[in-house]
Structure 1
Amino acid sequence: MAGTPDESAATGRADDPAYDATRLFAGHRELLFSVVYNMLGSVADTEDVLQETWLSWSGKNSRAPLAEIGNPRAYLVRVAVNHALARRAAIAVRRETYVGPWLPEPLVTDTATGSVPDTADQAVRADSVSMALLVVLETLTPLERAVFVLHEVFGYPHTEIAGVLDRSPASVRQLAHRARAHVRARRPRYRAHPRVRREATERFVAAALGGDIGALMEILAPDVTVWIDSGGARSGAGSRPVHGREKAARMLAGYATRRTEDPDIRYRRVNGDDAAVLFTGDTPYAVMVMDLTPDGDQVSDVYLVTDPAKLAHVRRAR
């Protein structure tokens, strides 16, 4: 079996065709990671797809000269996207037995440096969409999501997406129209000022962790929804999202009273938005992401990821 890009780079030579193939793949890895992650919402699945893409790429270059590939970037994106579409079928099967609400795996960056602490996530930059938008993208078909990500997030023209997906430009435009209408109906196009987001995040975290129902009733919107993804690994997480301010406030306050120790709170950026990461010692306990109402005064959605498997890449800043 072919080695990973890092292994090949360590043993390759500048005059070796395999070295050129490795260099090209490594140069496009950031783009490939971002595209695939936004299609799948899972770091582990994204890494698997990138490995499959590398094997396809290295196998192609062992059979034919690299010069025969006129546009390596387009070729790699096409291979990665199609591997990601195939991976969606396996993900759908896993979801059938998933315990409780499913949320995307959070990508956590250090607010002070902007860096991603874990090496597995070093490819992540600003092209990863918000947690709230990823949740909406889960309601699209795999093809609609691929078109939306390529066109709306990365700016690919419909004609180029048609080549990636082996579809006609007309069908791609139809997919893009349906996906855009679906997303806009569920996700208004606004973004609160970073200072407003940070202040709202800190107010919410203080109220939630303090079990202050009165403060929660003030900051939560009347139609707020709370999603807790524990993967079945945490007690009291609930089997479905909680809707409505009173139910959400009671649930969050009760969740706070069940803690056995006070967590260490670190404010980080998660998928580009201000958020809170809770640690017990050096172990991540939860990632809390809030979505705000258009005026920024209240919290409209709370995304709480406590599944240990989804927090495996999260590290405390030293």
Structure 2
Amino acid sequence: MRTKDFYFDLPQELIAQKPLDKRDQSRLMILDKTTGEITHTFFYNIIDFLKAGDCLVLNNTRVLPARLIGEKEGTGGKIEFLLLKRIKLDTWETLVKPGKKAKIGTTFNFGGGVLKGKVIAIGEEGSRIVEFDYDGIFEDILDQLGKMPLPPYITETLEDNERYQTVYSKNKGSAAAPTAGLHFTEELLEQIEKKGVKIAYITLHVGLGTFRPVKVEDIESHKMHSEYYMISEEAAKIINETKIQGGKVIAVGTTSCRTLESAANATGEMKEGSGWTDIFIYPGYKFKVVDNLITNFHLPESTLIMLVSALAEKNQTMHAYTTAVKEKYRFFSFGDAMFIK
């Protein structure tokens, strides 16, 4: 299957630059993966498509303020770091701009020396492996010095950083938000639980590798970057019981979907655990756990639209995207949502 098979024409003006005033006021496209039928509604009506006994799986990762602006020690030259992935306690894979300044052995200061970063190796695709030195707790220093790492297609300033966090975000570690979850409010989640829908919280720390373009012609040659996930005993139990009792497992976002499919055994049973996943889901994949998916509208030729096409069938997915463009749905992180039922 070719990367170009997942291309569609996306007008620039459909890329959402700001979140709506109310999270659940976004539009919602319903795609029936059995019939291909498309209907249009609003996200606050998602509850009408969930049944008692179903299980909603939410990724409770929290985005780190992972953009650091600093200067080169000795020369004062400006530098920008974007933390991608924690390799060990104080060592991170980072993107650095401008990269030519970040030679191995070079040290950079942030916040006047509150935080120091030394380049110790060159990583994949020109990333830098950086070892940080500081006093105190790293996450607290990031809260003090870091900025929210909005995707490059968002050019406007975000007034409230919490709008790039889900209302249930808990475990810090992501370089990007699990954006399908941005539509939920606390009130909507309460209504969903009152209806008898179970909620299971899992964690996958989203890396920017998820959003990197597919540069190969044959999609099977594409290699995903690895991301860290955690599934609790409680979450595994809720999901397993849902399957046994005949309920639907509904992944909120491609990150939840990839976590579930990575962690399940061959029969679809979930167990408590953690690890790294580089699973790449594209058409032809046989789902073991996930029945339905809530997701945003993604980039043309991205691994994310390929995952959606694996669940909803490629031609149906591409037709849905063409319809979304025609109906002027809002795309990407702050955009509208799709429910594949």
Instruction: Establish whether TM, by shorter chain, passes 0.5.
Output: no
Name whichever structure is richer in helix by fraction: 1
TM-score grouping bracket, smaller chain normalisation: under 0.3
TM-score by length of 2: 0.24
TM-score by length of 1: 0.25
Name whichever structure is richer in strand by fraction: 2
